[in-house]
Structure 1
């Protein structure tokens, strides 16, 4: 029988996380309390983060890195913690059990380092990965396009070799962290005739000639983190590729798999946070001559959320353990591992959405208020079902792995 009890070093890290949140993050969250419930304070008129919010995000990121908590999933040889995927479940769960405020900024997410960056050259690691590990630099992983979302191979951005440079042309859409990143990691077609082997990923610094930071989108989350990148004869040196020519799609899928596996701890932690709040609320809320908790209809909603949280935790741990037995961080991943990762993502995303929907309903009008924090998690839960591969794409991948 597999024992999913977190090992001692992970238990200590979870304690360190809770202490860090108490010491470092709670005071910042208090300072930003008005911003967190008012998008007009949280965001500038152009949709980007307000200066004080952006400064807080960077401060939390660098302080967490100083404590050795920011990139625990990365190998020790580059300054990470060397944690397994199963270990990281407990890390993500611990952070998200605090809900959604600013605590999530203490962990490397889409903007931070991921294991596929180990395919960088030693010089590239020194120049780019090292400041990312310190939380000083962030990246924008530019894959999606207006006409090429789920259809990754349909991307239209092109890169052409001209002399001692690559020249990029095209537009990337809905890119997380595009408004702020120091580094753009851009997947573009170098040889469309080769299909999956025809893409290459390029390292494009923010000040590269021909790179234009486009508009910032107003998304369902109102978080100011998603933007557009335009490449108009954008020139980068020949050695500014991440991996070899033709490996771009495989590297991009590795990064996407990192997005997927993180959902286990994230969704379970948020689900537990909502469940705890719902139980406390219906036990304390008085109506019709007593607490709401005496009504069986509401009890069953609580029980259904409990079942979803328990199922998320069990499926995540089993899936991540299976992924740890293989190698998710290679260019061509075994279809069986993809099946496991996709199952984790689609189940946890949909289960959290159910839990969040019930939480809004159980809290009634209060659940719709910004200051409750409940409606924000509901919006985030709905958002999760699209980035990193839609629910439908996960099912397509699982069906393929099942031989259908």
Structure 2
């Protein structure tokens, strides 16, 4: 299947990335999992290798490569078994930076996107609020225009890179009376007066800094508005397709890694005088789980192919996240079971993987919300049109 989408250059890129992660990242993962703080030096090393610039324009330091390099980047991040580290990397590269590239003007791209590609600046995307998770249109944060600046008030929560990032991409209501159609997107520096962050303690993704952020009369220059005023909701919805596909790809990749680990364990683990990979009940279970992962992977690759061609795959990306994350949780649960008591021990990878995987059906739109979005499209005939920026 991979030959349908990958060239020799893709395979060489995967080898280079895997080698980099094993040498430069893996030795530090356990420390970062304990501290919840990914040290700055690794961001710059990732940037130096060009991994943050995979899909971005060459004029800002990127490589302008196709989306399957991103697929490789995401898959390999899952194989080092730190959902938190992986999330910090892709939230920077494909949440914050996606908005910079799509809605930012040249000044914004020079100031924020270029150093983000270098790994010298870290970004976060602030959409979710304490009283409105998947209900983006119901957000309460406001931005009132006063002369040459906007004044922001409100709060955001569950923000990946929300504590240690250098800049924030923030959605706020500029015309609250218009509901979801009155939302805009801004970029602002972390040290702007009135911004404060509190680090959250999580079940999984422990290496990443997840924060709750408060905005108290924060003054943002008018020039830091990204795109058009009141077009923010359309921009967010457009990029959700990529975010959901990313989480679908993450899911099939971690499930694939879990299966590889479990099968390797099963061929050596003995019970009743034979290895446990010879017991029919276990063999058939793993056969079924492997089949599910392969089906999810094939669908995700096909969706990535269409997105790479410029198609608006909001339905398929939503389906990808819904089903792939469900499969991953079940696969990892069953793989942990294959290890018996050892699966429950922290020195084995399945315990952490199970905690990290559990966020899959929650982050980036809960499974319950995704089902309703899909239902609107396949039952009610609703369409979601891509945003345009003048």
- TM-score using structure 2 length: 0.89
Instruction: Say yes or no: does 1:357 pair with 2:340.
Output: no
CA distance in 2, matches of 1:115, 1:141: 10
CA distance in 1, matches of 2:210, 2:48: 27
Matched residue of 2:120: which SS? coil
Which residue number corresponds to residue 65 of structure 1? 47
CA distance in 1, matches of 2:22, 2:160: 28
Which residue number corresponds to residue 91 of structure 2? 110
Work out whether residues 50 and 117 of structure 2, in 8 Å CA contact, stay in contact via their aligned partners in 1.
Answer: no
| 1:5-404 equivalent positions in 2, closer than 5 A | 5-26=5-26, 28-29=27-28, 33=30, 35=31, 42-43=34-35, 49=36, 53-55=37-39, 58-100=40-82, 104=86, 108-112=89-93, 113-118=96-101, 119-213=103-197, 215-221=198-204, 222-327=206-311, 334=312, 337-404=313-380
Q: Per-residue deviation at 1:2? A: 11
CA distance in 2, matches of 1:158, 1:116: 19
Change in CA separation of 1:316 and 1:109 when aligned onto 2, cut-off 3 Å: same
Q: Per-residue deviation at 1:101? A: 7.7
Q: Per-residue deviation at 1:77? A: 3.3
Listed as ranges, the gaps of 5+ residues in structure 1 are 44-48, 328-333
CA distance in 2, matches of 1:297, 1:304: 11
Change in CA separation of 1:220 and 1:200 when aligned onto 2, cut-off 3 Å: same
- TM-score using structure 1 length: 0.86
Which residue number corresponds to residue 331 of structure 1? none
Q: Per-residue deviation at 1:315? A: 0.7
CA distance in 1, matches of 2:246, 2:25: 21
Q: Per-residue deviation at 1:276? A: 1.1
CA distance in 2, matches of 1:59, 1:76: 23
Work out whether residues 92 and 262 of structure 1, in 8 Å CA contact, stay in contact via their aligned partners in 2.
Answer: yes
CA distance in 1, matches of 2:10, 2:284: 34
Change in CA separation of 1:177 and 1:154 when aligned onto 2, cut-off 3 Å: same
CA distance in 2, matches of 1:349, 1:239: 39
Which residue number corresponds to residue 46 of structure 1? none
Q: Per-residue deviation at 1:224? A: 4.8
- How many residue pairs get aligned? The number is 376
Q: Per-residue deviation at 1:137? A: 1.0
What is the RMSD computed on CA atoms of the aligned residues?
A: 2.3
Partner deviation per Cα, 1:129-177 (whole Å, 9 max, x = no partner): 1111111111121111111111111111111111222111111111111
Listed as ranges, the gaps of 5+ residues in structure 2 are 381-390
Partner deviation per Cα, 1:252-307 (whole Å, 9 max, x = no partner): 23443332121343222212211111111111112222221221111122112211
CA distance in 1, matches of 2:259, 2:237: 33
